[in-house]
Amino acid sequence: MSAAADRHRRALELPVVEAAAALVGCTITHGECSGLIVETEAYHETEPACHAFAGLTPRTWPLFEAPGLAYVYRSYGIHALLNVVVEPAGDGAAVLIRALEPLAGIHHMVERRGRTSPTDLCSGPGKLTQALGIGLELNATPLLGGPVALGPPPPGHDAEPVLVAGPRIGITRAIELPWRFCAAGNRNVSRPWPPGLLG
């Protein structure tokens, strides 16, 4: 078994910031659709941008479960956003999946998204859930052996990806934390990073 083959399982055992970095290069699969994770963000209960900062509530309880659950919530009344719950039970932490590189089931993604550009299918946290058909009904389902599956890097992607870290997107609190991780040079990220970092 190569190191890449269980990178996703090892990521689930790490503290949330390290887990966010380690999950870049793993895969998300739902039904016939799958994509390579190219962008993530870490959220932890100790900082106010995290939903778990409010404590254990009817909305946030999955964040405090054992690692490996999906946390799916509605954003802006419209979009479903997918997170990977990490850290031991009792600690509220999760990794937001912000962008995927489409790998399989692309014609389903095109149907659901109503767009054909491959870099406009999964290049955002709301886009990728729409493309893969992931809705709120999948909240708190397991990512190992559940309907939405977290998987290892696919063939041809087993090298550790080069990462670019930066501030998280779209939040108003704890904006100083560099807890966003992107696969360097990948065109499927939700937003370009600052000029000059691409080399």
Residue of 3, 32, 75, 111 interacting with DNA (CB under 7 A): 75
Judged by CB under 7 A, does residue 46 bind DNA?
no
C-alpha–C-alpha distance, residues 164 and 182, integer Å: 5
Beta strands in 18-169 (DSSP E): 27-30, 33-44, 70-75, 79-85, 93-104, 148-151, 163-166
Judged by CB under 7 A, does residue 187 bind DNA?
no
Query: In sequence order, which residues have a C-beta less than 8 Å from that of residue 182 and are 6 or more positions away?
Result: 24, 38, 39, 99, 163, 164, 166, 189, 193
Judged by CB under 7 A, does residue 120 bind DNA?
yes
- Give the interface size with DNA as a residue count (CB under 7 A): 38
Judged by CB under 7 A, does residue 190 bind DNA?
yes
Report the residue number, 46 or 57, with the smaller CB distance to DNA: 57
Minimum Å distance from CB 191 to DNA? 8
C-alpha–C-alpha distance, residues 25 and 159, integer Å: 9
Report the residue number, 156 or 195, with the smaller CB distance to DNA: 195
Residue of 35, 62, 68, 125 interacting with DNA (CB under 7 A): 125
C-alpha–C-alpha distance, residues 4 and 176, integer Å: 31
Q: 79-85 and 93-104: which strand pairing? A: antiparallel
Note the residues at the interface with DNA (CB under 7 A): 41, 43, 49-52, 54-55, 57-60, 63, 71, 74-79, 81, 83, 94, 96, 113, 115, 120, 124-127, 136, 168-172, 190
